[in-house]
Chain A
């Protein structure tokens, strides 16, 4: 019974979200395709920010290579949808077949990105702090460099003419899935291990936490969802080019996570949505976009380095607490969220 309830709790967001998303899609699709694209971008950014938060916020490891994994996912999915474009399975019909193909492509994108995450994470996660940041940045650039040199991936011009499959539904479901994943992870044993690593890696290791193992696992999960985001965005604009996945893209995601608060899922969601909308609203000031990002980062670090939410979550507010009535074993003595302990994750880190 308790088990069934737990399963239900995981699926509840989908059950509530699906009709809303469906309504939103019908409304936006008929009203304004431009707005629909903004909604999709918002969903993709939520996936990116929340998944990066698993590594940068939960685990306290600073990764700058998210765009590389996006690229892996995007190209894998693009290859599959292009190859199977126009396929009709008997008994399913064209539309349904193509949706199924897209679902498979997304899954494949996640899988390859996860493999890439494993290959990158295994060697680099032995490093700490700023070294890790540079190495992940380097790996991101290497992935991009390899793609630019691969004939069958279209080199620098990339792949164009992908079927435009990503809609509000797909982006929304992916965003919900990412949030549920992050939430479930945060309250699980795995999550506790990750927070322990963030708080003090040496102490965690002394307590028997397999630090490298958990770090690699967090990294793989994060990479998989980055791949999902890459696949979604490339099928929203029917294009996958290496230029979409530069180091700058990684920084954009980092800004979202840092702005929302390293370690706060709701913080990342709010920051991702706010930044997406703000940037769309400021489209005519496109040139100032990166300058604004830069200033935002600097001012934030100087005045409120913990971000808007810190490590707190919206659902820790008393209002939500009463609504949710979480089982006591998850809330701890003071009812603190598992993400609420903190800070100073990197001060002890350094050159290995």
Chain B
């Protein structure tokens, strides 16, 4: 039982990351019907932005002999997270503006290939030798970097299950962001416009909705969430390298499909379910199959219930 709970807690910890990334996929897909292949790499860029911001801000580790005060730690952690979210929002805006928007009227395959191109550009561009040396080394190069310790890790034990404040804070931040997103999508003018564009872009345009601006906004929101996921992940698993967004990105896509692509709560549930499923299978059987599990789930979902858990069945128009 303890083992079961432990796997479950670990699964939730991984699942929140998938859920946050999946939200970006689901929103972009909902609005543009495009799988933003580069989304996993925006997550990676988020973690690196945090890494650089911490360097620029001169964040001190709580394990130093002269540790920063509680308030300073809090301010630094929030600044790093917010900064990374803003940087990624701008990146998302740029990707949409310069790579996807010119192709919007073309066959969807064109956008998909471009998305793969952007994804590889970010992954391998970040692996090049540093061009800028000061104040930060950019691009970071292929060897892994270690994310600075923003918070002191406090381990908890509950019913024999090991967890830490990292997991709890991660879960808390993720849920807060998701609630915020839910509020934006269903309670604000921007959200209403977003849903209208998702329903039918040309008609939304005729109704006076600035379609381009809404799509840009959607990309910025999704990319910001991916950055938050990148930071949360990097805090508890500090090794970051330019390729580490690839697999979580693909898995988050699976999570989005599992939950029903286009649905905000679906992405959340899908992420948590996928994370737990992975931990259970990896925990009870052979962990080297971990990466294959997500794809197996994807194939099963697409074959059995392609609309996902929360998706609505739509008739195919000829």
Contacts and interface: CB of A to CB of B under 8 A. Distances in A.
Contact of B120 (A137, A202, A293, A351): A293
Interface string B265-297: 000000000000000000000101101101110
Contact of B99 (A134, A302, A352): A302
Interface in B228-268: 246, 250, 253-254, 257, 261
Interface string B204-226: 00000000000000000000000
B103 interface: yes
A138 interface: yes
A170 B302 CA distance: 40
The range of chain B's interface size is 35 or more
B302 A291 contact: no
Nearest to A344: B107
Nearest to B261: A351
A294 B124 contact: yes
Interface stretch (B13-21, B53-61, B67-75, B108-116): B108-116
Interface in B286-318: 286, 288-289, 291-292, 294-296, 298-299, 302-303, 306-307, 316, 318
A288 B117 contact: no
A146 B296 CA distance: 12
Contact of B117 (A138, A247, A301): A301
A255 to B, nearest CB: 9
B306 A351 contact: yes
Contacts of A258: 113
A149 B118 contact: no
B302 A295 contact: no
Interface residues of A, number: 49
Contacts of A141: 291-292, 295
A135 B120 contact: no
A297 B120 contact: yes
A62 interface: yes
A202 B315 CA distance: 14
A295 B289 CA distance: 33
A62 B303 contact: no
A84 to B, nearest CB: 30
A135 B302 contact: yes
Interface string A225-251: 000000000000000000000010001
A135 B128 CA distance: 30
A203 B316 CA distance: 13
A343 B105 CA distance: 13
Contacts of B289: 145, 149
Given A130-B35, A135-B298, A352-B316, A295 B121 contact: yes
Majority SS at the chain A contact face = helix
Nearest to A62: B109
A304 to B, nearest CB: 11
Given A134-B35, A134-B253, A287-B128, A142 B295 contact: yes
Nearest to B112: A130
A301 B124 contact: no
Contacts of A130: 34-35, 108, 112
A301 B306 contact: no
Question: Which of A135, A138, A146 neighbours the largest number of chain B CB atoms within 10 Å of its CB?
Answer: A138
Contacts of B296: 138, 142
Interface string A312-352: 00000000000000000000000000000001111101111
A272 to B, nearest CB: 17
Interface string A272-316: 000000000000000111110111111001100100000000000
Interface stretch (A19-27, A107-115, A121-129, A211-219): A121-129
A287 B103 CA distance: 29
Contact of A202 (B106, B286, B306, B318): B318
B127 interface: yes
B292 A301 contact: no
A180 interface: no
A11 B303 CA distance: 42
A129 B124 contact: no
A14 interface: no
Interface string B96-139: 00010011001111111110111111011101110000000000
Nearest to B308: A351
Nearest to A137: B250
B118 A346 contact: no
A290 B123 contact: yes
Contacts of A124: 299, 302
A138 B298 contact: yes
A254 interface: yes
Contacts of A288: 128
Nearest to A287: B128
B302 A149 contact: no
A139 interface: yes
Contacts of B110: 301, 305
Contact of B121 (A142, A298, A346): A298
Interface in A17-76: 60, 62
6 contacts: A127-B306, A290-B124, A291-B128, A295-B121, A351-B306, A352-B306
Given A134-B250, A298-B118, 4 more contacts: A130-B108, A134-B253, A135-B299, A302-B99
Interface of B: 33-35, 99, 102-103, 106-114, 116-121, 123-125, 127-129, 246, 250, 253-254, 257, 261, 286, 288-289, 291-292, 294-296, 298-299, 302-303, 306-307, 316, 318
Complex A-B, nearest 5 residue pairs according to Cβ-Cβ distance, in ascending order? A138-B295, A297-B117, A294-B120, A290-B124, A294-B121
